[in-house]
Chains A and B, each alone.
Chain A
C-alpha cells in the first residue's frame, strides 16, 4: 500500500546551498523568527544528526491564523509529516508544503518541552533547565506585534520520532535523522516561522546532545 510514509517519501531537492538567498545557523537552545514569502523555499538541515527543531508557522498577514497540527494530520490521514504534506492553518489555508525530505518522518504530536512539562515528566527539580517554550516566548516577545503565549500552539518537531502504536501508546524514540539530513518546504503564502532549536537534555529527542541546525531560504524564481 502506498502511504505518505513509505520510503517513497524520501526525496532530494534540486536546490543547491550556493544559490540560497539566506543562510542561518541556529545554535541549540536559541529561538529564531523569520518571515518567508510566498513561493520561497525553506530548508532546515540537521547538521549533526538527531536534533529536534520545534517549529511554528503563522499566516504572515494574520497571526491568529496559524499552523494546526490536528487539521494537518487529519486531512492527510496520517500523523507523520513528510514529502507531500500540506501544512494547514486553523482557517484551512495551506501555509507550506513539504517538497523534499531526506529524513522521512517528522512529528507533530509531541509538542514543545517546557520548564513546567519537564517538572511533570522528569522531576520537580527540572524547573530551571532550559526548554523550548522558554525560547518560543523569548522569540515571539522579541518579534513583538502583540504575540504572546496564546500564539504558542501545537508545533512541528522536525527530525523527531514520536511513534503511536495501534493500541494507542505514544513514545519518544531515538531520532530517525542523521547528520546532513534535511526537510524542505515551499511557502504557499507569506508565513512567519518561529523556531526553537530544542535544548532538551532529559530524553533521546536530541540524542542527549543538542546541536546546531541550519536554515536556508531560496527566492521564488531560483
Chain B
C-alpha cells in the first residue's frame, strides 16, 4: 500500500485533486516504513490538520494525525500507523499468459497476484532460497490443514515443517492443489502443435518446461521440481474420488496475496490449467505486485487457523534465531 500524507487548513475538507502535499525528509512522497512511525514535514505553516490515507489496497483506511509544533516555516510531525496500514508497494508488473516468472520473495514482503481479466490460472512452486533442498511439500500442506483446497488463512508448508508463505488475502476461496501442471504433450494434444519458428512468442507454452527452464537459472533441474499448486483454479472431487474441473472460478479482479515467512524462491507460470476444458489456448495475464508487510502477530489469521499452523510458525521462527 502507498501511504500519502495530505495537509489541509482547519475545517476545510480535503480536496483529493490537490494531491499529496507532504514529503518525507528526503523530499520523496511520504510512504510508510518499518517501524511504524514516519516523520514528515509540510511547507504550509498555517495548516494544522493532516490526513493520512492508504491507497491502492483492500485495507484502505485513513487515520488522523497528531499535530506537532513547527520548525521554522515548516510543520513537522510524526505519525503512528496502525499495523494494517504498514504496507508499502515495492513494485508491480504484468505477467502475460503462458509465461514463467520467478522472484526471491523476501521474508516480510508479500506477493499479490491479481487475475485482471478473470479465468487466469497460475501454477506456483516454492523453495527456501537460502537452503534450496527445503521446498514446498504438498502432502504436508494438505494434511496439516486437513484440506484439499487452498484459501485465505492457509499456509504453504516446506518439507521441514516450516512455513514458506501464508495466504493472507484471497477473494476466490478455492485454489487447486491437486491437479498438477501442464506439459508439452498435454498442451499439444489439447490445442495442437506450434513452433517458435512459425508463431514467434505466440507459441503454446506449458508449465513444466517453463518451470524447468526457470529452475535451471538457479542451478536446479528436474529432480528439484516437486508437486505444485494452481491459483485461481478449482477441481472438485466426488465421493468416489472422481476429479472435475470447475470453470469460472475466478472473476475479473480476483486476487490472492502470499506473505513470505522466509526468503522464498517463488516460481509462477500462467499456462492453462491442465484440466481446463476451453477449446482454445488462451491463457490470461495476471498482475503481480510486491509489498513490504508487517510480520505476523500472535493473532495472525494464518497462524491461528489451526494448532498445526501455530506450530509451523514456531518452527519457522526458530529457524531465524
Contact = CB atoms under 8 A, between A and B. Distances in A.
Residue among B241, B243, B275, B315 with the highest chain A CB neighbour number at 10 A:
B241
B183 A170 contact: no
Interface string A68-95: 1111011001111000000000101000
B236 A78 contact: no
A201 interface: no
A117 interface: yes
Interface string B205-228: 000100000000000011111111
Interface in A162-192: 162, 164-166, 168-172
Interface size class of B (residues with CB under 8 A): 35 or more
Given A117-B140, A119-B315, A164-B237, A79 B178 contact: yes
Contact of A120 (B228, B236, B311): B311
A70 B241 contact: no
Contacts of A65: 222
Give the interface SS of chain B, mostly helix, strand, loop or mixed: loop
Interface residues of A, number: 50
B222 A74 contact: no
Interface in B262-312: 274-275, 308, 311-312
B142 interface: yes
A116 B236 contact: no
A120 B240 contact: no
A12 interface: no
A102 to B, nearest CB: 18
Contacts of B239: 165-166
B143 A116 contact: no
A6 interface: yes
A49 to B, nearest CB: 22
A82 B178 CA distance: 18
Interface of B: 133, 137-140, 142-144, 146-149, 157, 159-162, 174, 178-181, 183, 185, 208, 221-228, 236-243, 274-275, 308, 311-312, 314-315
> Which 5 A-B pairs rank lowest in CB-CB distance, beginning with the nearest?
A111-B139, A70-B180, A116-B161, A168-B149, A80-B241
